[in-house]
């Protein structure tokens, strides 16, 4: 969590930049490189998950905007719980 916080607070978007920051810290405190590598992998994975969630939200918004599908159909199409569709609709000021 600390690595993710640091990355988000300082706008670190690339793995290369994060590694450049973490390596000297790890070396100074005598931390094993495997721990740093594990942190990097977790940080990257969380980024992938957040990106997927954002993309999912964009798709749901587009489908809601079209008005062609019911919220239940959208949930099925995007493979999410109906609560996620309702949450996005509510955030956009729409009642479903």
pLDDT by residue (tens digit) across 64-76? 999 989 999 999 9
pLDDT, tens digit (0-9, with 9 covering 90-100), for 26-61: 888 887 778 878 878 887 888 778 878 888 999 999
Which pLDDT belongs to residue 13?
67
DSSP for 9-65, please give it: HTT---HHHHHHHHHHHHHHHT--HHHHHHHHHHHHHHHHHHHHHHHHHHHHHHHHH
Q: Quickly tell me which residue has 């670190």 as its tokens.
A: 12
pLDDT for position 70: 93
pLDDT over 80 (residue 88): yes
| 25, pLDDT greater than 90 | no
Distance of CA 27 to CAs 6, 19, 34, 43, 44, Å?
18, 12, 12, 19, 21
pLDDT number for residue 82? 96
Q: How many CA atoms lie within 13 A of 22 on its CB side?
A: 24
Please answer whether residues 63 and 69 qualify as being in contact, where contact means their C-beta atoms are separated by less than 8 angstroms: yes
pLDDT (0 to 100) of residue 1: 66
């Amino acid at each position: 969590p600390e690595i993710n916080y640091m990355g988000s607070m300082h706008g670190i978007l690339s793995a290369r930049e994060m590694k450049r920051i973490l390596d000297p810290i790890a070396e100074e405190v005598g931390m094993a490189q495997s721990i740093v590598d594990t942190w990097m992998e977790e940080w990257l994975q969380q980024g992938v998950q957040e990106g997927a969630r954002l993309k999912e939200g964009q798709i749901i918004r587009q489908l809601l905007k079209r008005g062609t599908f019911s919220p239940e159909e959208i949930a099925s199409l995007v493979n999410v719980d109906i609560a996620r569709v309702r949450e996005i609709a509510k955030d956009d000021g729409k009642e479903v």
